[in-house]
Amino acid sequence: MTVLAALGGLCTAGAVFVIVVGLRGTDQAERQVRPPSRLQTLLRSRAWPGRRNRLLATAVVALVVFLLSGWPVAALAMAAGAYMVPPMLSGRAPQRRITRLEALAQWSRRLAEMMGASRGLEQALADSARIAPEVIRVPVTVLAERLNNHANTEQALRAFADELDDPIADLIACALVLASRRRGPGTREALRLLADAVEHEVLVRRDVEAERAGLRTTLIVIVASVAVLSVLFASSQTFAAPYGTALGQTVLAVVAAIYGGGLGWMRGLAVLSTGARFLHSSRRSSAEQGVEP
């Protein structure tokens, strides 16, 4: 009942906060000038639906474990596991990134061919929405709509890079930004070279992911073994009774931290670093530097 009352209080406080913010409102001019907050950026990101589902699962698991065992440390440990373990065991995110990189390489090559047909940069970008691969068709279509509405080319390309949110996409967008500034004849060749480089990057990442699939299988075996042993251990009154004390909870916290550290170390071995992004919208860059856009 105490846990349910605490959850009810948190929900009530959140509802009051949302109502106050809604009634307060924000000045439209200030909303246009002020860059999005970190919370707004998180809520608009593509990863938010998955994180939201994991957060809900985390809350449910923590509540169930606490009601069944009465151990707060076990509830926190299981909640952390429910949030962090599924992404560690899944290879879908790396495969999606590889597929998107392959689509970017194809789009860059087709864009270079279109620019060779006596088309300007803006016209080629707008027309490329028709031949863009399915994986990146939505951001390319949005880019084409912005250019058709006479938006600034550089700002539209920076927004395009923000939507893709990938360092490789930043390279392609940066080449197009430089082409929009200089209007030189080397844009087609630059796009072809970038397409070749991205295709090579795709091959390398596919090889790396194939090797790391075995490590993820090992992680699945370890997590499943620990989960089964934990359930068997907790179901035995003889072994579980000492952990109901304060000292037992402290020992359980140390054991959970050791397991968590080991899983985090193995996850670091199984994750391929893709580098950091370097191209952002002018508004965001100005906000980070403390300069008016």
135 occurs within a structural domain? yes
Q: Give domain status of residue 226, yes or no.
A: no
What are the tens digits of pLDDT across the range 111-120?
Answer: 888 876 556 7
Residue 48's pLDDT is 58
- Looking at residue 46, its pLDDT comes to 59
pLDDT tens digits for 206-225?
888 887 777 778 778 888 88
61 token code pair: 């698991």
CA distance 106 to 133: 7
Q: What is the pLDDT of residue 33?
A: 40
Separation CA 17–CA 238 (nearest Å): 47
Q: What confidence category does residue 293 fall into, taking pLDDT thresholds of 50, 70 and 90?
A: very low
Return the pLDDT at 31. Answer: 40
Q: Is the pLDDT of residue 160 over 80?
A: yes
Q: What is the pLDDT, as a whole number, of residue 287?
A: 39
If one counts every other C-beta atom within 10 angstroms of the C-beta of residue 90, the result is: 13
Where in the sequence is the domain holding 200, given as residue range(s)? 94-205
Helix or strand or coil: residue 86?
A: helix
Q: Which two tokens stand for residue 32?
A: 């246009």
Identify whether 234 is part of a domain. no
Assigned domain for 84 exists: no
pLDDT given for residue 115 in this prediction: 78
**Mean pLDDT of the 33-41 span:** 50
Nearest of 105, 100, 136, 97 to residue 271 by alpha carbon: 97
Is the CB of residue 98 less than 8 Å from the CB of residue 168?
no
- Residue 191, pLDDT score: 84
In a domain, 3, yes or no: no
55-74 tens-digit pLDDT: 888 888 888 888 888 888 88
Residue 18 lies in a domain: no
- Look up tokens 């620990």; give the residue: 226
Would you say the pTM of this structure is higher than 0.75? no
CA geometry: angle 175, 179, 182, nearest 5 deg: 135
What's the whole-number average pLDDT of the chain? 75
Is residue 122 situated within a structural domain? yes
Q: Which of the pair, 272 or 145, is modelled with greater confidence?
A: 145
Pairwise pLDDT comparison (170 vs 186), residue with the higher score: 170
Ranges 80-94, 126-140, 165-179, 265-279: which has the least confidence: 265-279
* pLDDT confidence band for 10 (50 / 70 / 90): low
Residue 146 CB neighbours (<10 A): 19
Examine the pLDDT at 32 and tell me if it is beyond 50: no
Q: Hunting for tokens 């304060």 — which residue is that?
A: 246
Q: How many helices (H) and strands (E) does the chain have?
A: 14, 0
Residue 107 lies in a domain: yes
Structural domains counted in the chain:
1
